[in-house]
A = this chain, B = another copy of it.
Amino acid sequence: MARTTGSDGEKTEAAIREAAVNLIARFGYEAMSMRQLAAEVGVQAAALYRYFPTKEDLLFTLMREHMQGLSQAWEAAKPVNASPAQRLSAYVENHIAFHIERRHATHVSNMELRSLSPERLTQILRMRTAYEKELRAILRDGAEADVFSIDDTGLTAMALIQMMTGVIVWFRPGERLSIAEVTATYLSMTMRLVGAASATAPRVFLDAQRTL
A residues within 8 Å of B by Cβ? 26-28, 30-31, 111, 114-115, 146, 149, 151-152, 155-156, 158-163, 165-166, 169-170, 177, 182, 184-186, 188-189, 192-195, 197, 200, 203-204, 206-207, 210
> In chain B, what residue has the closest Cβ to A176?
B154
> In chain B, what residue has the closest Cβ to A184?
B151
Count this chain's copies in the assembly: 2
* Neighbouring B residues of A149 by C-beta, 8 Å: 203, 206
> In chain B, what residue has the closest Cβ to A163?
B163
Q: Which 7 A-B pairs have the closest CB atoms?
A: A162-B166, A30-B30, A163-B163, A193-B193, A151-B185, A159-B163, A30-B31
Identify whether the interface residues of A are mostly helix, strand, loop, or mixed: helix
Q: Are B203 and A114 in contact (CB under 8 A)?
A: no
Q: Are B146 and A210 in contact (CB under 8 A)?
A: yes
- Provide the bound-state CA to CA distance between A189 and B149, in Å: 10
* Neighbouring B residues of A192 by C-beta, 8 Å: 192-195
Q: A28-B114, A159-B163 are in contact. List 17 more A-B contacts (CB 8 A).
A: A28-B30, A30-B30, A31-B114, A149-B206, A151-B188, A151-B189, A155-B182, A155-B185, A155-B186, A158-B166, A159-B186, A161-B166, A189-B193, A192-B193, A197-B207, A200-B200, A200-B204
